[in-house]
Amino acid sequence: MERTRLSYRRGAAKLRATALRRVASLVAISLLGAACAGCATGDAARPGEGIAPRGVAPPEAEPAVGPAPLRRLSNDEYRNALRDLFPAVDVALPPLPADIAVAGFENAAEAQEPSDVRIARYEAIANLYAEAATIDAAAVTALVGCADWSTPEHATSCAAQFVGVTGGRVFRRPLTDAERDRFMQRFQEWRSAVDFEGAVRLTLSAMLQSPQFLYRVEPPPRSQPAGSVVPVDAYAMASRLSFFLWESVPDDALLQAALRDELRTDDQVRDQVDRMLRDARARRALWSFHRQWLALDRVLGDEHAVRTPEVDAAWGPTSQASATEESQRFVQNVLAQGGTFHDLMVSRRAWVNGEMARIYGLAAPKDPSAWTEVVLPGAERAGLVTRAAFLAGFSHRGATSPPVRGNGIELRLLCQLPVSPPPGADLSQPKPAPDQGPQTNRMLFEARTKPAACQACHAALNGFGFGLENYDAAGHYRSSEDGLPIDASGSIQGTDVDGPFVGGIELSSALGRSEVVHRCAVERWVRYALGRAPVVAELPTVASLTDAFTKSDGDVRALLRGIATSPTFRMRRVGEE
C-alpha cells in the first residue's frame, strides 16, 4: 500500500496549496468587489453589454444574480411558521424526516426531495393544527373573524373572509381570484357534507398542505423576456426577508409593506431589516445560523450522552442541553445587544445555569435552574471556541482528540474540508504503553501522528487541537493531566493569521481577526440566505461583503443588511424558477 500512501500525501499537499491560493485570491476578489460597488444598487451602467467575447460573462454587464431554485420550507421554518400563524395552538407533532444538511445547513434547496414519509407527516400535522385551531366555536370565531354563520348568506360571507384573510397569511400573499374560487367551492361542498366548522377545519388543512405554504413559490413576471434579471415580486421579497431573518413567515407589517410596494429601495429594505432584527424572532435565525455553521448542537448527539468517570462522572443529558443552551444564549444575547462576530470569538460574557457553573468552575448559583450573566475567568476562556458546546462536541467520551477539534476548526471556521484519514488509519484513542509511564494526550497524539505521511494534514490539525488541550473532553479547564503540565502551545496554518500561539484565548483572538474566517462566515451566511452555495457570478458580492465584514470586526447586522440589499437577494432571472 506504499504507493497508495504516497498518492494520498500528494493529494493532501495539493489541498493545502489550494487553501493557500484561496487566501491569496481573496485579495483579488476584494479588489474586484470594490470596482463593482455600484452593482449593489442594481442600477449599474452596462458598458460591456454586447461587446464581450463569446463565452465570457461580462461581470459588469448586469447585476450579479445567481440561480433561484424553488425552496421548500426547512423543518425549522415549517415549525416556526405554524407557531407564528397559530400562536394559540399547542399540539405535539410527529417527527418530520430530518432535513439533509449540505455543508452543515438544513435549508439547502438541492437536497430537498419530497418523499412519502414527508408527505404523510405534512398531512398528519396539517390535520392536527386544523383540528386544534377549530377546537370549539370560540376558536373558529377567532380564526375566521366572524361569529355568525347561522344563515347560508352569513356562512358564505364568513367563508370568503376566512379564505381571503387566513389564506393570505398562510400563503404569504393575497390569493388570486382563481385560488379564492377553488378553495371557496370546496369549502361549500364540505359545509354541505359536514358543517361550517368542519369545512373551516378541512379547508385549513388543505391550505397547510398546499405548495403556496410549503414552498416558496415566486411567481415569474409575465411581461419580462426570459433570461432578463428583474426584482422579485414584493410578496416574494417579504418572504425572502422573513425566512432569512426570522426563519418564519412574514408578519402583517411586512405583508403590508409588500402590498404598498415598499420593499423596493435600499432604504426600504434596510429599514425592514433593522426593524426585523429588533424583533425577538430574529434571535431564532441568529442562533440557527451559528448552530448549523459551527455545529454547536453536535454535543447533543447520542455519542456525547456520557463521559467517563475520570473525565466527568456527573456529565449527562443536562450537561449536553446546558452546553448547547449556554452557546445559544451567548450568541443571541451578544448579537442582539449589538455585538459583533469578533465578540463571539473573544467575549468573556456568559450566561450560565448551575450545570454550566459547575463545568466552568464558577461559584454555584443559588438557583441552579436559573440562567445568570457572568464574566468568565480571564485566563481561562473567551468566545465560542472555548465553550463547552464546541469543546465537548468535538471530543470523545473519555478523552479529547486534538485532530477532531482541529478538524472542527478547519471545516467550520475556515471553510476548508480536511483531507480524510487514509484507508486503514488508526483512529482509536492512543494510550500509553504499559511500561511508558504517564503521558499527556498531546504526547500520545504527537507519537501517533509522527510519520511524515500523517504530518501532511496533522501539522495543521494538531496545531489547532493542541492549543485547546487546556480543556478536557467535557470542556472543564485543566492545567495538568496525569500529573504532567499541559502544553497548550499550538500553531495556525493555512490562513492569513498563521503563526504560533498558546491556548484557546490566543487562538480565538487570532481567528477572530482572520480574513479567511470572516470570508468563511460571509460565504456561510450567503449560503444560509439563498439556500445554496454562492456561484461564481456572486463571488464579487461575497468579496465585497467580506471586505466590509472584516473591516467592521464582524458587524453581523451590517452583513445581514448587505446581503438583504444585494442584487442576488432581491432579484432573479426570468425563466429560472
* Phi/psi at 72 (5° precision): -90, 155
Shortest spacing between CB 429 and other proteins, in angstroms: 6
Shortest spacing between CB 415 and other proteins, in angstroms: 6
By beta-carbon proximity to other proteins, the closer residue of 79 and 275 is: 79
Q: What angle do CA 457, 462, 467 make, to 5 degrees?
A: 150
By beta-carbon proximity to other proteins, the closer residue of 69 and 231 is: 69
CA 184, chain centre distance (Å): 39
By beta-carbon proximity to other proteins, the closer residue of 351 and 464 is: 464
Shortest spacing between CB 115 and other proteins, in angstroms: 5
By beta-carbon proximity to other proteins, the closer residue of 321 and 425 is: 425
By beta-carbon proximity to other proteins, the closer residue of 501 and 525 is: 525
By beta-carbon proximity to other proteins, the closer residue of 212 and 372 is: 212
Contact 375, 396 (CB under 8 A): no
By beta-carbon proximity to other proteins, the closer residue of 213 and 360 is: 213
By beta-carbon proximity to other proteins, the closer residue of 130 and 559 is: 130
Cβ-in-10-Å burial (0-12, 13-18, 19+) of 232 comes to: buried
In the chain, the amino acid numbered 141 is T
Shortest spacing between CB 80 and other proteins, in angstroms: 21
Measured CA to CA, the distance from residue 219 to residue 242 in angstroms comes to 17
By beta-carbon proximity to other proteins, the closer residue of 98 and 280 is: 98
HSE (side-chain half, CA atoms, 13 Å) at 81? 27
Shortest spacing between CB 532 and other proteins, in angstroms: 12
Shortest spacing between CB 315 and other proteins, in angstroms: 12
Shortest spacing between CB 337 and other proteins, in angstroms: 31
Contact 320, 300 (CB under 8 A): yes
Cell numbers standing for residue 390: 464546541
By beta-carbon proximity to other proteins, the closer residue of 147 and 193 is: 193
Give the closest residue to 357 by CA, choosing from 343, 345, 374: 374
Measured CA to CA, the distance from residue 159 to residue 187 in angstroms comes to 8
By beta-carbon proximity to other proteins, the closer residue of 165 and 404 is: 404
Contact 303, 473 (CB under 8 A): no
Q: How would DSSP label each residue in 42-102?
A: T----TTTTTSPTT---TTSS---------BPPHHHHHHHHHHH-TT-----PPPPPPPPB
Contact 445, 402 (CB under 8 A): yes
Contact 16, 456 (CB under 8 A): yes
Torsion angle defined by CA atoms of residues 161, 163, 168 and 173, in that order, rounded to the nearest 10 degrees: -110
Shortest spacing between CB 235 and other proteins, in angstroms: 14
By beta-carbon proximity to other proteins, the closer residue of 195 and 252 is: 195
Measured CA to CA, the distance from residue 33 to residue 541 in angstroms comes to 6
Shortest spacing between CB 135 and other proteins, in angstroms: 12
Cell numbers standing for residue 297: 448542537
Shortest spacing between CB 102 and other proteins, in angstroms: 6
By beta-carbon proximity to other proteins, the closer residue of 184 and 344 is: 184
What's the chain's Rg over C-alpha atoms? 27
Measured CA to CA, the distance from residue 490 to residue 402 in angstroms comes to 11
The dihedral through the CA atoms of 462, 464, 466, 468 has a sign that is negative
Question: Which residues partner with 350 through β-bridges?
Answer: 374
Question: Which residues partner with 400 through β-bridges?
Answer: 395
Cα–Cα distances (Å) from 39 to 62, 161, 224, 428, in that order, read 8, 43, 21, 52
Give the closest residue to 273 by CA, choosing from 559, 575, 568: 559
Shortest spacing between CB 333 and other proteins, in angstroms: 28
Helix (H) or strand (E) holding 11: helix 2-35
Give the closest residue to 517 by CA, choosing from 398, 408, 415: 415
By beta-carbon proximity to other proteins, the closer residue of 32 and 533 is: 533
